[in-house]
A and B are shown apart, each in its own frame.
Chain A
Amino acid sequence: MPTRRFLLFAATLLTAFPAFAQGTVPVVASFSILGDLVQEVGGDRVTVTTLVGPDGDAHVYQPTPQDAKAVAGAHVVVVNGLTFEGWMDRLIQSAEYKGPVVVASAGVAARTFDDDAASSGQSGTDNEHGTDPHAWQNVANAKLYVANIEAGLSAADPDGAEVYRANAAAYEAKLDTLEADVKAAVASLPENRREIVTSHDAFGYFGAAYGMVFKAPEGLSTDSEASAAGVAALITQIRTDHIPAVFIENISDPRLLEQIVSETDAKVGGTLYSDALSPAAGPAGTYIAMMRNNIAELTAALGR
């Protein structure tokens, strides 16, 4: 039936290429933090689709057919890199996406788990010798991300290069302010209260950049299982170092941390956002909001 076929065709066009209908550049970002950064740089010229949404765990994410469709129709795909999205390569392959892939962390001085373990004084009993992908926790790296994203967008859409540069510059200014605030906040904490425990090793870059120590029972990925030795070591360390606070993350099961807390004098400090933003209505709906929220929680719990 000609009418039906026409309607179907029109519907497909509209659903699969909304960007074209509005003339924007379709961009796919792998997770919420990247999605926010891309939106800041791209502004009105881009339509961003985020694969791992707010409160989502990119370490164990499993892509859906919708995701494949989004990737297939994208002009630019932005990923974190540093082995964060283990599932991305296969997704790109199966979606037969041939366009540019922007690795946001290109040029970042990568840390490994061993670095994290050494700096936090752990004996590395959890046996993960991988790259730490959580580079965005250091605001300086976030600026690198922004630069890479800007370059990638400009390459794919040269007409908008001016706009992208302007947006990026404005956002970088905000990041500068943020960086100063973070440093000031950490400096305001007493020297002996700069050590905390979180669920998984997500804050290595933050700790190294701003002078705090983060310890965790789970390794680099929320998928790994804790060992009794690791938990015992953590408890002992909390007791010996008098670590004052333990922070739950928005993507992890809080029970293990609560169990640890119950055996020590530490308190549950609050919720930190590590790998994902909160929903828009929440306290960490954008990257800057997320960093400010984390810093506020840290100072509130440790500032005394």
Chain B
Amino acid sequence: MMALIQPFAEFAFMQRALLGCIAISLGATPVGVFLMLRRMSLTGDAMAHAILPGAAVGFLVSGLSLGAMTVGGIVAGLTVALLTGFVSRVTVLREDASLAAFYLISLALGVLIVSLRGSNVDLMHVLFGTVLALDDPALTLLCAITTVTLLTLAAIYRPLVLECVDPQFLASVSRWSAPVHFIFLSLVVLNLVAGFQALGTLMAVGIMILPAAAARFWARGIAGMIAVAVCVAAASSFAGLLASYHFGLPSGPTIILATGTAYLASMCFGPVGSLVVRYWPRTHLDA
């Protein structure tokens, strides 16, 4: 038991790491659940590349300033998200192809800008942090983004669900279609960029998607899925940090592997639609 608590009691960096993970579990996983339900799970990876020109311009303007690069990254991410949503609503191209097109253009622009500047500094290396180095600004940013995310999701919950289930209907009864789509994509960008800056790409995207994927096998309704996803994310962070502490493993990948293990276990043994349910079904009921 002591082995579970002692690292967090003794070291401030462990406490902050856990706090940061819990913050991002609360904010990013609900967004991840919706991403998964809308079949946009690969958006995270695409976004990681899409923010490059924004960070590059931030670097051009203010040098190696994390603030400027983060703001630049958010602007680039929002632009790509906005254009993606717009194109998929107004032209024949669907969301996945539209996003792919824009993130590739964005990435190429970013690489171009970085090369023109002629610097050898690995921008992305500097921009992406590690969960063990969460300083006060990073923690504040994470908590702020989580608060904004939760409040926004609560506010747009109904139109968002409608937009996912029956966009035709939503368009026919209200003008919420385009706004809710864009607000949702903005939440994705915010959580990803804050996550990258604080925790690195792997952790930010992983925490968003894997718990959501695991939750699919436990709950039938959205509220249940979100609750399970948050718990899986928080528990995996705790377990991953402990493993990193006791066995000397790098923290980010270990947390994500813990989440991945939860996903695999859920896929095999979860009560809803898992392998066990499919291949070893329980006896049917009589009515």
Contacts and interface: CB of A to CB of B under 8 A. Distances in A.
Interface of A: 52-53, 55-57, 60-62, 64, 125-127, 222-232, 235, 251, 253, 255-256, 258-260, 262-263
B156 interface: no
Given A225-B251, A228-B244, A230-B248, A57 B125 contact: yes
Contacts of A57: 120-122, 125
A46 to B, nearest CB: 22
Nearest to A61: B120
B22 to A, nearest CB: 16
B122 A226 contact: no
Residue of A127, A223, A230 contacting most chain B CB atoms (<10 Å): A230
A64 B118 CA distance: 10
Given A225-B253, A228-B244, A262-B12, 19 more contacts: A53-B120, A56-B120, A57-B122, A57-B125, A61-B122, A64-B115, A225-B252, A226-B250, A228-B14, A229-B244, A229-B248, A231-B13, A232-B11, A253-B125, A253-B133, A259-B133, A259-B135, A263-B11, A263-B12
Residue of B12, B132, B135, B246 contacting most chain A CB atoms (<10 Å): B132
Contacts of A263: 11-13
Nearest to A60: B122
Interface of B: 7, 10-14, 16-17, 115, 119-122, 125-126, 129-130, 132-135, 138, 200, 241, 244-254
12 contacts: A125-B248, A126-B248, A227-B244, A227-B245, A228-B17, A229-B245, A230-B248, A231-B13, A253-B125, A259-B13, A259-B16, A263-B13
Nearest to A224: B250
Contacts of B250: 224-227
Nearest to A50: B120
Q: Which 8 A-B pairs have the closest CB atoms?
A: A56-B120, A228-B244, A229-B248, A225-B250, A256-B133, A228-B245, A125-B248, A255-B133
A37 to B, nearest CB: 19
Contacts of B134: 259
Q: Binding site of B, secondary structure by majority: helix, strand, loop or mixed?
A: helix
A223 B125 CA distance: 8
Nearest to A126: B248
A226 B251 contact: yes
Contact of A228 (B115, B129, B251): B251
A52 B119 CA distance: 9
A228 B241 contact: yes
A222 B128 CA distance: 13
B12 A228 contact: no
Contact of B133 (A52, A53, A224, A258): A258
Nearest to B252: A225
A224 B132 CA distance: 13
Contacts of B119: 53, 56
Nearest to B240: A228
B20 to A, nearest CB: 11
Contact of B125 (A52, A60, A126): A60
Residue of A60, A232, A263 contacting most chain B CB atoms (<10 Å): A232
Nearest to A229: B248
A199 B135 CA distance: 16
Contacts of B122: 57, 60-62
B38 to A, nearest CB: 31
Contact of B129 (A55, A56, A255): A255
Contacts of A127: 248
Contacts of A226: 130, 132-133, 250-251
Nearest to A55: B121
A97 B76 CA distance: 40
A217 to B, nearest CB: 8
A227 B244 CA distance: 6
A60 B244 CA distance: 24
Contacts of B200: 225
Contacts of A52: 120
Contacts of B253: 225
Contacts of B11: 231-232, 235, 263
A224 B122 CA distance: 14
A229 B120 CA distance: 31
A227 B249 contact: yes
Contacts of B7: 228, 232
Contacts of B133: 226, 253, 255-256, 258-259
A258 B245 CA distance: 19
Contacts of A126: 248
A166 B129 CA distance: 48
A191 B122 CA distance: 38
A31 to B, nearest CB: 9
A177 B125 CA distance: 38
